[in-house]
């Protein structure tokens, strides 16, 4: 029990590491006061530059991938596989190092999905990229990706644990996008090149 608790704690701490915040500090910018104010790759790209945004996106993705992959090798229970990944996403969104602020959790969720099922993750990512390319709205692509997550795992007949936790995480990430949804409805959401 203690060992399991330590693994979950480690997952939360790993998730809490804010590469966006680190990028901002390197550039001498407080991201909470610039752009959307979000500690995520999209805001880093807008404020610090495209390559910084890509770097943070990759690092946040890896942050979700490796703990999930470790859990898949270490635990037999499928609940632990997705449970560890979910804790990373929560840590990313509610970071202990950023006064329980953070990003939306999209990149870390992608990393978790890649570990769980790379094919499902790849299909969802392709759809998300297409939506963003057509609409220029990263938030819309992210929300659609979250809606597709449980559908993708249902289609491949994934374990019940995967379906349940992925659905919960999808709803959590959409909830984190609630201000974006309001702006989308009112036509005030920032576009990728805006």
pLDDT score, position 192: 78
Predicted local confidence at residue 128, as pLDDT: 97
Spell out a b/e string for 114-150, using b for 16 or more CB atoms within 10 Å of the CB, else e. bbbbeebbeebbeebeebbeebebbbbbbbbbbebbb
Strand partners of residue 101:
95
In the prediction, which pLDDT does 2 show? Answer: 65
Each residue's pLDDT expressed in tens, for the chain with a length of 194 residues: 668 789 999 999 999 999 999 998 898 888 888 877 788 898 998 889 899 999 999 999 999 999 999 999 999 999 999 999 999 999 999 999 888 888 999 999 999 999 999 999 999 999 999 999 999 999 999 999 999 999 999 999 999 999 999 999 999 999 999 999 999 999 888 887 65
pLDDT at 1: 65
Write down the pLDDT at residue 99: 87
| Cβ(43)–Cβ(36) below 8 Å | yes
pLDDT of 190: 84
Smallest CA-to-CA distance from 177 within 142, 135, 147 is with 142
Where in the chain are the domains? 2-185
């Amino acid at each position: 029990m203690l060992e399991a608790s330590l693994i979950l704690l480690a997952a939360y701490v790993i998730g809490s590491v804010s590469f966006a915040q680190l990028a901002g500090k390197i550039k001498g910018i407080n991201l909470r006061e610039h752009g959307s104010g979000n500690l995520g790759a999209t805001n880093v790209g807008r404020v610090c530059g495209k390559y910084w945004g890509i770097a943070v996106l990759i690092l946040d993705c890896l942050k979700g991938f490796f703990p999930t992959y470790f859990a898949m090798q270490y635990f037999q229970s499928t609940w632990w596989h997705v449970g560890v990944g979910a804790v990373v996403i929560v840590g990313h969104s509610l970071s202990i190092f950023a006064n329980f602020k953070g990003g939306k959790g999209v990149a870390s969720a992608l990393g978790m999905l890649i570990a769980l099922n790379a094919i499902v993750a790849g299909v969802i990512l392709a759809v998300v990229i297409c939506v963003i390319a057509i609409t220029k709205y990263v938030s819309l692509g992210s929300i659609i990706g979250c809606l597709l997550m449980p559908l993708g795992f249902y289609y491949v007949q994934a374990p019940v644990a995967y379906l349940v936790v992925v659905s919960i995480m999808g709803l959590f990430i959409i909830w984190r996008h609630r201000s974006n949804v309001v702006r989308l409805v009112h036509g005030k959401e920032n576009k990728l090149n805006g």
